[in-house]
Structure 1
Amino acid sequence: MSTAPPPSAPHPLDGGLGEDEAALRLRRDGPNELPVSRPRGLLRLALAVASEPMLLLLVACGAIYMVLGDAHEALMLLGFVFVVMGISFFQQRRSERALDALRDLSSPQALVLRGPTPRRIAARELVVGDVVLLAEGDRVPADMDLLEASNLAVDESLLTGESMPVAKEAAASRQATDAAKAFSGTLVTSGTGRGCVTATGEHSALGRIGKSLAGIAADATPIQHETRRVVKRVAAVGLALAGVLALAYAITRGDWLHGVLAGLTLAMAVLPEELPVVLTLFLGLGAWRLTREKVLARSIPAIERLGATTVLCVDKTGTLTANRMTVRRVWSDEAVYDRVSSAGQVLQEELHGVLEYAVLASHRRAFDPMESAIAFAGQRLLAGTEHLHADWTLVDDYPLSPEMLAMSRVWQSPDRQERLIAAKGAPEAIVDLCHMDADQAAIVAAQVRAMAQDGLRVLGVAQATFDAAALPALQHDFEFRFLGLVGLEDPVRPDVPDAIAECRKAGIRVVMMTGDHSATALSVARQAGLMTDAPPITGVELAAMSDEDLQARLAGAHIFSRVQPDQKLRLVRAFLAHGDVVAMTGDGVNDAPALKAADIGVAMGARGTEVAREAAALVLMNDDFASLVTAVRYGRRVFANLRKAIVFVVAAHVPIVGLSIVPVLLGWPMLLMPVHILFLQLIIDPACSVVFEAQPLEADAMKTPPRRADQRLFDAALLVRGLWQGIGLLALLVAVYAGARLQAAPDVDGDDVARTLTFMVLVLSNLALIQTNRSWARGPRRRDRESDRQFAWIALGTIALLGLVLAVPAVGRLFSFAPLSPALLAAALGVSVLSFSWFECVKWILLRPGAPGGPR
């Protein structure tokens, strides 16, 4: 990045920079980003891999072999060190690349004019001279001079520490004051604006003070803490056993070096060094897989937490519906227009004023889908009339507030002295502003109910004039006249009904929280497939309820209408207090507390504010409810595959540990040596990180209730399954070794033959162990091309390496192996099939409901 501030650019008036000019400036000035924590380069990653305990144990074993005078064994171990380092390096690089890609995707976005067209780009691509559109909830992506500001207020506490928002205004000249500047990293709390970028990256106000961020590292996740705790405990026990074994070997046989070697071999066998790598890789790649489904994970733990979700709290607009609003109906006391039934007809003269003032009550540069729909309808239905007012000047506006669900905009006409005020909002708020009597209000309410029952979102429209120069503080002080209603429709997304049906089968309750009228909410709920047997709970009812009353109503309620953002927070807390695991969707600034309070906050990526995205754990990049259900499916998959991998690790380590201890206890020669442990690691590590990570979700996984919220990754059920499989394999291997020693011919080394046969059975049984644990479901295993391909490569590579060791005498001697007769080779295959039968029996027995380690 350039060290000198980039040259300023003239302020564009009509449009932004062209793509070619923007690309040129990006190359010249560098990306709009701050210095971040130094990524792990290849050398740092290699050093981290080289310091892993398993590799240090290997080096120690190699040194002992050197002292014993066995240079071949020592050199082979050191060669294996590089092989294992290569595998670990590849795995960690794969995880790093996935996380780097996620960081790129989670970078802030900016709505920028490139030419006359607004489009959303990564904030890092902004350059000096770009014109950026700002709206409530946006994080300002770069320093800029404000060209337009409408009721714009910015929270600058990140820079100044001042908690009160600062009012902003458009720059009156090229030398803009601080009041006409917006600074990188600050937050738009209200209003809209348009600004020209004047400084990016290090040259911005935030960049000049933000270099201290470079050394901040991310905290470990709770599941990572649990894994590290388990690994440390197992490693401590293993090292203690290794010390006891080394001491016992040395005392009973008088050979200290071989005793230390036996102890180190046991330590290598016990150490579950795969688990941290497996966890990091599974969560990182799980997050990356989700991005392909248009779901961005800003918090990695949220991925596996999704699998326990019991309640999905969703908004209606844009989540269940397509968020493509259109004006369907316009109504007044004198006439009614319906886009469907009046197709091809012009808007009646009596309704021109309703639509005219609905347009005036909306922002000219609309961000809200409803305002965009009203503007589009105005251009289409009022074209060629005197009811479109491009030459009117906006004087002031009164924004929507929790106290008044209506907004008013004050205009000055070139040919009139008085100000004209246009208001739109919730019909009951407009009725209140117009001070309508009970009879008039009842007529409007009846029409609102009729329109809402058709699934329309209804807005009231009113008009007022004002002669005085000083405007009142409240819009309530204007003398409004009711004009009519505008009904907008937003169709339910086509895939929503199937997604909600899938949630119901999975035991997940879907709850709608919307600011819309109850009748509208019920209409959409029926179309979407939500439960509608209980009446909606309105925001007014909710405000009057005690916490106890709410808990009593909570179990049967599926629709909450006319709710405020602070009431969403209350509902989330109520579900949490009920014992549910809650996923909550939101898009606005005021939704951030509820998103933070939920177990999994889910922000809308397309229409959501930057504040909502920062508060959320997940971002739906296409605002699609079906994507959220997909995320739940992936959460269940990650947790299930992690448990499969851990069961395999436990089952695979039990026979290795047993074969390291039993020969010493029975006075036999050492059966497994470090080189054998290393060979097995070449199977275990890739199997955990590649085969199990790629396993698809079980076919019935979305037909079962969510797992318990308190279920841990490492629990008794997992240990029971792994130990039963591992102990059975250990007993089989000890029998094979003992039998082979007894049956060995007098003219061959019986110990080497027994070791070779036992090791071959162990390797092939590990492949059988992988195959068994790939699926824990009843019935035929679900086929998946990716996981089948991964397993095929692991199996073929393992068999090829085993064949090399058995077929090449020089390599076989390094393993202390002896040639096997065809009969013994056939026996090894037969015993491996027997081990597979044992694994399958354990699986089927433990699949019985109520069995230890089985479904619960």
Structure 2
Amino acid sequence: MPPQRPQSSGWTTAEAAARLAADGANELPAARPLGYWRLLAEIVREPMFLLLLACGAIYMLLGDRQEAAMLLGFVVLVIGISYVQRQRTERSLSALRDLSSPRALVIRDGRQVRIAGRELVRGDLVLLAEGDRVPADIALLRASNLMADESMLTGESVPVMKLVPGCVYAGTLITQGTASGSVTATGQHSALGRIGAALAAQGGELTPVQQETRRVVRAVAIGALGLAVALGLAYWWLRGDALRGLLAGLTLAMALLPEELPVILTLFLGLGAWRLGREHVLARSMPAIELLGATTVLCVDKTGTLTSNRMQLRRLWTEEAAYACGQAPEPPLPEALHGLLEYAVLASHRQAFDPMEAAIGTAGARLLANTEHLHGDWMLIDDYPLSRQMLAMSRVWRSPSRQDYVIAAKGAPEAIMDLCHLAPAHGARLVAQVAAMAASGLRVIGVACAAFAAPPLPSDQHDFDFAFLGLLALEDPVRPEVPAAVAQCREAGLRVVMITGDHPATALSIARQAGIPTQGAPLTGGQLDGMDDAALQERLAGASVCCRIAPAQKLRLVRALRARGDIVAMTGDGVNDAPALKAAHIGVAMGARGTDVAREAAALVLLKDDFSSLLAAVRHGRRLFANLRKAIVFIVAVHVPIAGLSILPVLLGWPLLLLPVHILFLQLIIDPACSIVFEAEPMEAGAMRQPPRTPGQRLFDGAILLRGLLQGAGLLALLLVLFWHARLSGQSDEAARAAVFIALTLSNLALIHANRRVGNRDGEPPGGTNPYAGWSAAAAVSLLLVVLGVPGLRQMFAFAVPAAGPLLLCCLVAAATLAWCAVLRRASLPSGAR
């Protein structure tokens, strides 16, 4: 057992760092990382490299040792490029795993701070609340109504009550109450570590796009192998050379094999999640990234998402007096309001997790200083938590100077009035006052008090004889960036629905400040309970403000929106929000103030807890899906001329125009373009002024395939004309082959440039720069010049330097390719860029 620190201070930062260095991080052994040799083995086993090795063996059998050596040298180079790309993805995913580390609320240097769970050390003073995943083995120092789900350790599904002295264990879940305690064991020394549990790495599941890609790759691969066999047999039959025929067949298989597709998907999704992490959005589920671009409805909490979650007490009101806080200078609090604030403080937790309770405690310490109304020596006996049935909570105290228990209650004004059993006329006056305060955007709560003679305490707080004390009004201002973000959502065709437990007048005021439409009456929790599913769906068509909504009612709202055909992103932070987060297409948890249960149920975690982060996630989702489609158009387009130049010479009796070494050279352009250039392409400037893509839109749809096929067919026709002209003008086969290859390389660069802007149908400039595009083009041209300029390499490529005329035509072919792509972009074909 580590030495205990004073409860008020905890460890200092230096002491915690020393203990962390001595004991190690608070984490369990993770899944085995993909090391150098495992990664290299995965790359070498890919079909493309097996085909290359087969081609090298055939060259050796034919006696072309130089060609074989060149081919194997290129194999090593391409393996190196693939390895660097895979390592980049692995580093991105590793960074995401660090971001997804559980977090803990501790006392360090005498103040509350939230740290990564892996930084927890023995002796740390940890604060726990409902919904937290216990980060280490903890000896309890204080506990209030604490219950823990220990099923992952004991198999017992029923939560157990936890008392002082006692312990809670790493990995278990706090289902009720609050507590503080001292860490006794971390990492492998905890109860979870001793039984050998390991944390499974996030990810690994096949996403819908990955499943679609797997089907496409399988179908194309089968077709490519069939064509390759047919071409090899045709070459053997027409020319009588079996080995050359096998080489031609393998070259065609290399030309058609779409091995880039799985690579770009892995890289795009991995780097997409990493880019979201840099925007303080943690992607816990890859399908969420795919769906972000299709989101039509954003259901958001008010507190902490639209507002700053930094509450301040603004007004106190009783029927005898009223007081406005925050004046300069601030006058003393009238005696008639002392009891109201006194019992509001008693109804709150002393170590406040909730910003509202923290604001009440701060105001109480300031306005009741040097009075008898602050009770640091009173003992908490029990409390009655807020529930869906009763939007109020009560805390039971024992005073050293009196026998009776003192009960303080706070909550929604209507709930407090219900507890006090007020007369209708009295209640009507209070309702009018609540509405007047809420209309200013203030959150209004009621406060009541009661006394109880002796134990046992009743099971329901309704059994106390409460007296109504008054109202408190708190302000949580709208974040300054929210109105602009909401306006961007509306411009992008996204509907924002605010969901809150606040009074309707408060909700409407905040909605107006945020720019959310407020036409018509808001939907309340009471109205929701009285509607059937069909009526609710119809009501949601025009309701953008939902108020007095209990957490459990969010699930029904999500299901109703989904039934209407919307793609729903839903924010939440509490234990009761978890079902709704699971039911939404994209569950979004609050990283700072959310519970561990909510984070585990969500697909995305907002580490900054603000609305602008959610909008940034939508923006990244649109960019990622658009860039995937651009890359696929390029892949289809670039494979058409390669396949045509592999098949047609055999059928027409021409010399082979493409050899395996040429295919491999082209891979040096295609792979980086697909995986680096297109992934880094910035969002189109007008992408957030277009409606969301339809949910059923496939990655490989007719528009994408047709655009790619037409681009590739146009380029193939130009290359065939170029070859015919070179032969007609008396060029040798080697010079004609070189001219075609030069034109194909330059035209590939033209295809990259054209497809990077495939979504800019209206001629808008791009939304940013792509530094990789220029470097990729420069590298490709430099390699081509080296091949043409070095005699040994030129001979291995079976090239001869073409005359000036064909060289000029090579540039014209690339320019014509750009023009052809521009014609297709201006045509009436769907761009598919969203």
Query: Within the alignment, does 1:782 sit opposite 2:768 as a pair?
Result: no
Distance 1:358-1:853 versus aligned 2 partners, 3 A rule: closer
Give distance in 1, aligned partners of 2:331 and 2:184.
50
Counterpart in 2 of 1:744? Answer: 730
Summarize the alignment of residues 22-61 of structure 1 with structure 2, pairs less than 5 Å apart. 22-61=16-55
Given residue 206 of structure 1, which amino acid in structure 2 is its aligned partner? Answer: L
Displacement after TM superposition at 1:11 (Å): 6.0
Counterpart in 2 of 1:809? Answer: 791
Displacement after TM superposition at 1:219 (Å): 2.1
Give distance in 2, aligned partners of 1:430 and 1:735.
86
Counterpart in 1 of 2:239? Answer: 253
Equivalent residues of 1:138, 1:187 under 8 A apart: yes
Summarize the alignment of residues 288-303 of structure 1 with structure 2, pairs less than 5 Å apart. 288-303=274-289
Query: Within the alignment, does 1:281 sit opposite 2:267 as a pair?
Result: yes
Equivalent residues of 1:283, 1:301 under 8 A apart: no
Give distance in 2, aligned partners of 1:12 and 1:380.
25
Give distance in 2, aligned partners of 1:246 and 1:227.
28
- Percent identical across equivalent pairs? 63
Q: What CA deviation, in whole Å up to 9, does each residue of 1:23-77 have, x standing for no partner?
A: 2222222211112211100111011111111111111000000000000000000
Distance 1:217-1:605 versus aligned 2 partners, 3 A rule: closer
Equivalent residues of 1:604, 1:620 under 8 A apart: yes
Summarize the alignment of residues 713-724 of structure 1 with structure 2, pairs less than 5 Å apart. 713-724=699-710
Equivalent residues of 1:287, 1:297 under 8 A apart: yes
Query: Of 128, 149, 167, which residue of structure 2 is paired with 1:134?
Result: 128
Summarize the alignment of residues 785-804 of structure 1 with structure 2, pairs less than 5 Å apart. 786-787=769-770, 789-804=771-786
Query: Of 681, 697, 709, which residue of structure 1 is paired with 2:695?
Result: 709
Query: Of 371, 378, 387, which residue of structure 2 is paired with 1:401?
Result: 387
Given residue 119 of structure 1, which amino acid in structure 2 is its aligned partner? Answer: V
Equivalent residues of 1:35, 1:214 under 8 A apart: no
Equivalent residues of 2:97, 2:202 under 8 A apart: no
Query: Within the alignment, does 1:767 sit opposite 2:749 as a pair?
Result: yes
Counterpart in 2 of 1:243? Answer: 229
Counterpart in 2 of 1:21? Answer: 15
Equivalent residues of 2:726, 2:806 under 8 A apart: no
Q: What CA deviation, in whole Å up to 9, does each residue of 1:599-651 have, x standing for no partner?
A: 00000111110100110011111111011011101100000000000100110
Counterpart in 2 of 1:563? Answer: 549
Given residue 297 of structure 2, which amino acid in structure 1 is its aligned partner? Answer: V
Equivalent residues of 1:12, 1:131 under 8 A apart: no
Displacement after TM superposition at 1:781 (Å): 5.3
Give distance in 2, aligned partners of 1:454 and 1:791.
53
Equivalent residues of 1:601, 1:617 under 8 A apart: yes
SS at 1:308's partner residue? coil
Given residue 716 of structure 2, which amino acid in structure 1 is its aligned partner? Answer: L
Given residue 650 of structure 1, which amino acid in structure 2 is its aligned partner? Answer: V
Give distance in 1, aligned partners of 2:572 and 2:595.
9
Mind listing any 5+ residue stretches in structure 1 that lack a counterpart? 1-6, 172-179
Q: Which moved more, 1:11-20 or 1:137-146?
A: 11-20
Counterpart in 2 of 1:431? Answer: 417
Equivalent residues of 2:588, 2:606 under 8 A apart: yes
Equivalent residues of 1:37, 1:217 under 8 A apart: no
Displacement after TM superposition at 1:739 (Å): 1.5
Q: What CA deviation, in whole Å up to 9, does each residue of 1:176-222 have, x standing for no partner?
A: xxxx1101111111111011111111221112234465699832222
Equivalent residues of 1:147, 1:193 under 8 A apart: yes
Query: Of 637, 641, 644, which residue of structure 2 is paired with 1:655?
Result: 641
Equivalent residues of 1:143, 1:183 under 8 A apart: yes
Query: Of 734, 756, 776, which residue of structure 1 is paired with 2:720?
Result: 734
Give distance in 1, aligned partners of 2:71 and 2:548.
70
Displacement after TM superposition at 1:686 (Å): 0.4
Given residue 767 of structure 1, which amino acid in structure 2 is its aligned partner? Answer: L
Equivalent residues of 1:26, 1:125 under 8 A apart: yes
Given residue 813 of structure 1, which amino acid in structure 2 is its aligned partner? Answer: Q
Counterpart in 2 of 1:177? Answer: none
Query: Within the alignment, does 1:308 sit opposite 2:294 as a pair?
Result: yes
Counterpart in 1 of 2:819? Answer: 837
Given residue 72 of structure 2, which amino acid in structure 1 is its aligned partner? Answer: L
Given residue 802 of structure 1, which amino acid in structure 2 is its aligned partner? Answer: L
SS at 2:263's partner residue? helix
Summarize the alignment of residues 294-693 of structure 1 with structure 2, pairs less than 5 Å apart. 294-339=280-325, 344-693=330-679
Counterpart in 1 of 2:74? Answer: 80
Query: Deviating runs (4+, > 6 A) in structure 1?
Result: 214-217
Distance 1:623-1:215 versus aligned 2 partners, 3 A rule: closer
Given residue 91 of structure 1, which amino acid in structure 2 is its aligned partner? Answer: Q
Query: Within the alignment, does 1:826 sit opposite 2:808 as a pair?
Result: yes
Given residue 296 of structure 1, which amino acid in structure 2 is its aligned partner? Answer: L
How many residue pairs end up in the alignment? 833
Displacement after TM superposition at 1:822 (Å): 2.9
SS at 2:293's partner residue? helix
Displacement after TM superposition at 1:327 (Å): 0.5
Distance 1:615-1:214 versus aligned 2 partners, 3 A rule: closer
Distance 1:17-1:616 versus aligned 2 partners, 3 A rule: same
Equivalent residues of 2:140, 2:167 under 8 A apart: yes
Counterpart in 1 of 2:93? Answer: 99
SS at 2:668's partner residue? helix
SS at 1:687's partner residue? helix
Give distance in 2, aligned partners of 1:645 and 1:12.
59
Given residue 682 of structure 2, which amino acid in structure 1 is its aligned partner? Answer: P
Counterpart in 2 of 1:161? Answer: 155
Query: Within the alignment, does 1:149 sit opposite 2:106 as a pair?
Result: no
Equivalent residues of 1:806, 1:819 under 8 A apart: yes
Equivalent residues of 1:320, 1:624 under 8 A apart: yes
Given residue 823 of structure 1, which amino acid in structure 2 is its aligned partner? Answer: G
Displacement after TM superposition at 1:852 (Å): 5.6
TM-score by length of 1: 0.95
Give distance in 2, aligned partners of 1:301 and 1:97.
20
Give distance in 2, aligned partners of 1:824 and 1:734.
13
Q: What CA deviation, in whole Å up to 9, does each residue of 1:268-322 have, x standing for no partner?
A: 0001111111111111111111112111111122112100000111111111111
Given residue 810 of structure 2, which amino acid in structure 1 is its aligned partner? Answer: A
Given residue 761 of structure 2, which amino acid in structure 1 is its aligned partner? Answer: R
Distance 1:608-1:227 versus aligned 2 partners, 3 A rule: same
Given residue 740 of structure 1, which amino acid in structure 2 is its aligned partner? Answer: A
Equivalent residues of 2:572, 2:594 under 8 A apart: yes
Counterpart in 2 of 1:176? Answer: none
Give distance in 2, aligned partners of 1:212 and 1:302.
25
Equivalent residues of 2:568, 2:584 under 8 A apart: yes
Given residue 401 of structure 2, which amino acid in structure 1 is its aligned partner? Answer: D
Give distance in 1, aligned partners of 2:89 and 2:713.
33
Q: Which moved more, 1:136-145 or 1:818-827?
A: 818-827
SS at 2:205's partner residue? coil
Query: Of 693, 696, 704, which residue of structure 1 is paired with 2:682?
Result: 696
Displacement after TM superposition at 1:780 (Å): 3.8
Given residue 83 of structure 2, which amino acid in structure 1 is its aligned partner? Answer: F
Given residue 681 of structure 2, which amino acid in structure 1 is its aligned partner? Answer: Q
Displacement after TM superposition at 1:112 (Å): 1.3
Give distance in 1, aligned partners of 2:659 and 2:282.
46
Give distance in 1, aligned partners of 2:188 and 2:200.
12
Query: Of 733, 736, 745, which residue of structure 2 is paired with 1:754?
Result: 736
Displacement after TM superposition at 1:520 (Å): 0.5
Distance 1:500-1:804 versus aligned 2 partners, 3 A rule: same
Give distance in 2, aligned partners of 1:840 and 1:30.
59
Counterpart in 2 of 1:108? Answer: 102
Give distance in 2, aligned partners of 1:507 and 1:201.
47
Given residue 118 of structure 1, which amino acid in structure 2 is its aligned partner? Answer: Q
Counterpart in 1 of 2:169? Answer: 183
Counterpart in 2 of 1:175? Answer: none
Q: How large is the Cα RMSD of the aligned pairs?
A: 1.5
